[in-house]
Amino acid sequence: MSEEFNGYYRFPTIYNDQIAFVAEDDIWVVPSSGGIARRLTTNVGEISDLTFSEDGKWIAFTGRDEGVPDVYIIPSIGGVPIRLTYLGANSKVLCWHNGKIIFSSNYVQPFKRITSLWEVDVEDKRKLKQLDFGICTEISFGKEKGVVLGRKTGDPARWKKYRGGTAGELLIDLEGNYNFRKLIDLKSNFANPIWIQDRIYFISDHDDVANIYSCTVEGKDLKKHTYHNDFYVRNPKSDGKNIVYHAGSDIYILNLSNNVSEKVNIKYYSTLPQRNRKFVDPTQYFEGFSISKDAENLITTHRGKSFYYNNWYGPVKQLGKENGVRYRLTTYLNLKDEEKAVTISDENNYEHIEVYDLKTGNLIKKVEEYDLGRVMNIVASPKDEEILLTNQRNELILIDLRNHKKIDVDKSTFGPINGYSFSPDGRWIAYSKFINSKQAAIMIFDKEKEEVHQVTKPILFDVDPVFDPEGKYLYFLSYRIFNPIEDRFQMNLAFEKGTKPYLITLKKDICSPFQEIIKEEEEKEKEKKEEEIKVDIDFDNIADRIIPFPVSEERYVNIQAAKEKVFYAISPVSGVLEDEEDMLSEKHEKLTLKYYDLTEKEEKTYLEGISDFQISEDKEKIAILIDDELRILKTTNPPSPEQEKECENKYTRKCGWIDFHRINVEVQPLLEWRQMLCEAWRLQKFYFWNKDKLDEIEWDKILEKYYPLVERIATRTEFSDLIWEMQGELKSSHAYEMGGEYKPKPVYKIGYLGADLILDEDRKLYKISHIVKGDIWDEKNKPPLLGPGVEVKEGDYLLAINGIEIKDKIPNEFLVNYSGKDVEIVVSSSDNIDHKRKYVVKTLKDETPLRYREWVEKNKKYVHEKTDSRIGYIHIPDMGYTGYVEFHRNFLSEVRYDGLIIDVRVNSGGFVSSMILDKLNRKFIGYDLSPYREAQAYQYDSVRGPMVAITNEFAGSDGDIFSHSFKLMKLGKLIGKRTWGGVIGIWPRNPLVDHTITTQPEMAFWFKDVGWDVENYGTDPDIEIDITPKDYKENKDTQLDMAIEIVLKELKENPPIAPNDIKKP
């Protein structure tokens, strides 16, 4: 067996006869003619973006050895890497120029998605300077003062054939006087400009697959140099004689003298340590559970593997194949012997049903003949070898496992099936179905007659139906309580709870269980219970037999029935920003588990702080999920405070905690990556928004193209890169990949002082050139150097941090791993260095929110001053919760002005554009006057005069939608640049086994004026204006200035009626 391995090669750079590249997240070198590759680093963090120094002695790279991407160098012959920057921001090494390293970074930006260019002196890392080209991603230098910039350039392979407003563009300045112009006009997503002699080389995908092209510095004589027709050319670098790049997972050299491109044959030898087998924490990768009828045995699924075992003792056995197959939704079949389980398997890249014998662990049947789509949930029949399942197509399907029979129970074209259950005798199926786009009703399906009955008349949504164990009632949750609360900030009301549990009596002669009954009737009921339960339903006027539970209106999220008890969970009412998480978060909501005791006719609390629960089929036990731990208790009584104290960290039957650490979860990375790549691509096919185009996408052919590259992958980072490029074949927005389990590395975050520091080269001291202003009262984001007891001024020198003089180091070096901590600083004034002052300040974990606040307040002040306080200003950073908050923070005060500028530049999207547009669309039609206060505009909070909006290339998704809708609704002029062009929405809910999130473009936007054409184009402004590099250098915001000019002009032409203009009767 050969020890040679074909690796996954990326980020190559070249100097004469030597190539350096990245594989396994480390730097390797190989002769440019090919041969044996030599490993140069064994770093703990991932490495990317290599570039040789001008003399070939050093390699600069982006390193992450302390958790954040910063600039590093290493001798090209090998040695110890040296960290040059301590920005703690998103930095990327670009090139060398005159002995300095040029890199891009979002450091000191008010937005994380915006980068500018920086340089750092290799001889003295204190000489760090931000270049004054403004927003920029790449650069290449000409012979003298010439510069070519890449703006908005990225990796075209990740969204192939992208043509939206953020498509990469190349700007050239031949004289070094900041008079930049477009290099060449092509419908392309440009990237990676390289200035070689009198030509500019670059990547372009204007002719389908991205290849290397060049043109003269005048933008003439376009030439094609590479001819790849499968994989995109990516990340080229040059030494002036050759260009090296990667395509697929191979490295190629383009010889500029003969215009020939050849693959570099690399002999690669490695122990591939990140492919080694490992065992992971089952709690961390817990996916779901199923309990046996009596809750004495469990099936739990962890990282795509299902295990079955007794709760308290004995061995834990794995179901199905050990590796390489994902099992989901594994569930006990509720048969008398409880010896079978059903699961969804994706063996052979096809999702299907499998049934296992739990005595032997053997597979006993497969149900592969049906296209089930992406199965979302499974419920087993209490009587028969049958299961109910739902899928992404909003179908409810009954599968007879014994006879391999499929019954399509129902389907909604409006929304998902929200809860379903069998009756105790297995004949009836209750489920919630959207009957139109605004209402969901409870339906009952009769298996014997194959008939469907609607049994509720919803006001809005009736969901989560569950049968009473005795077959007398159907319980469900309903959204039908309209009890508003007042908004504290504005004239508005909200329905913050809205739900209650309800029941329907299944027969006409059944009374409400909330009524007291006499003793004789109670005895008769007990006799009936001992009989075999057979459920009969009177459908005549059944919807009118609805009875509310005598409990308060809350935010109910689940309901299940036990004997004489109905359990339900309640979600707390809390602000969404109190513990804001992103889509990678797996933090569970803390619910309160309550139950209604039908015997004692009262509601009681069972347990606080739960995540989910499930009642056993015999109704005697309740399985409670608390974060990622499971507990099984009796339904009869909640645990007492004494029991809770006694049971802390005890895995016993009495305490109920399940010890997941009994489970051995083995991971074979290569087998897992194979499975994950296939599943990621299946998910795209399952959810892709345009059914009519499904056949146009060559799903199998694309997978066949990328699947062999998995065999070359040796790290999780490489796997991520492969998924991104494969999903780029969709040529669609919002096809992302993020998260997942990476090689462990230290994360030492920098604590920020909220200030700009510059090196005074004469005194060799750091001067505080600017203190960032912000909200002093904001505990999370307040400026560390401002506030009571801290007398630090701009112009002061920073001498020491935590008792150590700064001297030859960078201040941020002393702040590594001090994120959010108290530090002591020593400062002195510029006119009296010897007079030192000490202060203790708390560093910021992230400076961006503070810089954003300063940027907004600066713009607001500028608008007020330029318009003599006649125009208000609002910026909306996104269309999520934060953006909604930011809009109201400013709108509710700025709306008092005669007109309004709404700035959505760099808006990162979300879902609240409609709510914001609704408010902006309020029409001013009069005043509400009072003798002792200023008149209020009516409609309340309406803008009395003109509005304009500013947008740019970095406004995307719901930012696109807002920008286009602002124009379409004729709210005012749209000013700026064409937007991103990504309006196919996502709903991330299908994590891969290692917690990777992939997003599927599944909800597309159509507009009545342009149809589908905002996608992959953006929306054009009414007035196009750019902020050029020269504008940035001169500190001009030409877009904001134009907005001010337009709104003042419109205000002059159509001034609003002032209260003083109104004649009183």
pTM metric for this prediction: 0.95
Please tell me the predicted confidence (pLDDT) of residue 576.
Answer: 86
- The residue among 881, 1023, 1034 whose CA lies nearest residue 949 is 1023
Segment 305-325, tens digit of pLDDT: 999 999 999 999 999 999 999
Q: Give the phi and the psi of residue 222 in degrees, each rounded to 5.
A: -65, 130
Please tell me the predicted confidence (pLDDT) of residue 469.
Answer: 96
pLDDT at 682 over 90: yes
Q: How far apart are CA 994 and CA 741, in angstroms?
A: 6
DSSP label of 1063: P
Query: Has 734 been annotated as catalytic?
Result: yes
The average pLDDT across 1010-1034 equals 97
pLDDT at 582 over 60: no
Both tokens assigned to 420: 């379903």
User: Which among 734, 875, 888, 964 is annotated as catalytic?
Assistant: 734
Grade residue 589 by pLDDT with cuts at 50, 70 and 90: confident
| Dihedral (CA of 906, 911, 912, 918) sign | positive
Both tokens assigned to 169: 């563009």
Q: How far apart are CA 476 and CA 568, in angstroms?
A: 10
The average pLDDT across 1029-1047 equals 97
Residue type, 120: V
3-state secondary structure 108-147: CCCCCCCCEEEEEECCCCCCEEECCCCCCCEEEECCCCCE
Grade residue 649 by pLDDT with cuts at 50, 70 and 90: confident
Q: How far apart are CA 424 and CA 537, in angstroms?
A: 13
pLDDT at 491 over 60: yes
Beta strands 266-267 and 35-36 are parallel
pLDDT at 823 over 80: yes
**755-844, superfamily in CATH?**
PDZ domain (2.30.42.10)
User: Which among 913, 957, 963, 965 is annotated as catalytic?
Assistant: 957
pLDDT at 521 over 80: no
Q: Cβ(780)–Cβ(797) under 8 Å?
A: no
The CA-CA-CA angle for residues 153, 157, 160, to 5°, reads 95
Beta-ladder partners of 101: 96, 120
Residue type, 545: R
Residue type, 665: V
Q: What percent of the chain has pLDDT over 90?
A: 91
How many helices and strands (H and E) does the chain possess?
A: 11, 74
The average pLDDT across 496-523 equals 85
Please tell me the predicted confidence (pLDDT) of residue 523.
Answer: 56
CATH fold of 669-739: Transcription Regulator spoIIAA (3.30.750)
For domain 137-233, say whether CATH 1.10.260.30 is its number.
Answer: no
Beta strands 147-151 and 169-173 are antiparallel
Please tell me the predicted confidence (pLDDT) of residue 670.
Answer: 98
Please tell me the predicted confidence (pLDDT) of residue 645.
Answer: 85
Q: Cβ(366)–Cβ(352) under 8 Å?
A: yes
The average pLDDT across 341-357 equals 97
Please tell me the predicted confidence (pLDDT) of residue 1024.
Answer: 98
The contacts of residue 899 (CB under 8 Å, 6+ apart) are 867, 870, 871, 872, 943, 944, 945, 946, 947, 1047, 1048, 1050, 1051
Q: Cβ(386)–Cβ(380) under 8 Å?
A: yes
Tell me the DSSP string of 44-96: SS--EEEEE-TTSSEEEEEE-TTSS-EEEEEETT----EE-----S-EEEEEE
**382-554, superfamily in CATH?**
YVTN repeat-like/Quinoprotein amine dehydrogenase (2.130.10.10)
Alpha-carbon dihedral of residues 284, 289, 294, 295, nearest 10 degrees? 10
Please tell me the predicted confidence (pLDDT) of residue 584.
Answer: 53
CA distances from 438 to 411, 441, 458 (A): 16, 10, 10
Q: How far is CA 798 from the centre of its chain?
A: 39
Q: How far apart are CA 593 and CA 608, in angstroms?
A: 6
Segment 104-161, tens digit of pLDDT: 999 999 999 999 999 999 999 999 999 999 999 999 999 889 999 999 999 999 999 9
Helix 881-894 and helix 913-920, axial crossing angle in degrees, nearest 10: 10
The contacts of residue 627 (CB under 8 Å, 6+ apart) are 588, 611
- The residue among 316, 280, 322 whose CA lies nearest residue 300 is 316
For domain 849-983+1018-1060, say whether CATH 3.40.50.800 is its number.
Answer: no
The strand order across the sheet containing 260-263 reads 233-238, 242-247, 250-255, 260-263
pLDDT at 3 over 80: no
Domain map (residue ranges) of the chain: 137-233, 382-554, 669-739, 755-844, 849-983+1018-1060
Q: Which residue has the tokens 């961006």?
A: 848
Grade residue 516 by pLDDT with cuts at 50, 70 and 90: confident
Please tell me the predicted confidence (pLDDT) of residue 370.
Answer: 94
3-state secondary structure 682-744: HHHHHHCCCHHHCCCCCHHHHHHHHHHHHHHCCCHHHHHHHHHHHHHHHCCCCCCEEECCCCC
pLDDT at 525 over 70: no
Q: How far apart are CA 266 and CA 222, in angstroms?
A: 32
Segment 445-466, tens digit of pLDDT: 999 999 999 999 999 999 999 9
Alpha helix segments (H runs only) across 255-339: none
The contacts of residue 271 (CB under 8 Å, 6+ apart) are none
Q: How far apart are CA 746 and CA 744, in angstroms?
A: 7
Average pLDDT, the chain: 94
Asked if the domains 382-554 and 669-739 are classified in one and the same CATH topology, the answer is no
- Give SS3 for 475: strand
- The residue among 786, 796, 758, 938 whose CA lies nearest residue 853 is 786
pLDDT at 530 over 70: no
Grade residue 520 by pLDDT with cuts at 50, 70 and 90: low
Beta-ladder partners of 822: 842
Both tokens assigned to 254: 């383009």
- The residue among 843, 787, 847 whose CA lies nearest residue 820 is 843
Grade residue 268 by pLDDT with cuts at 50, 70 and 90: very high
Segment 836-871, tens digit of pLDDT: 999 999 999 999 999 999 999 999 999 999 999 999
Q: What percent of the chain has pLDDT over 70?
A: 97
Q: How many CB atoms lie within 10 A of CB 336?
A: 7
Q: Cβ(47)–Cβ(41) under 8 Å?
A: yes
Grade residue 1 by pLDDT with cuts at 50, 70 and 90: very low
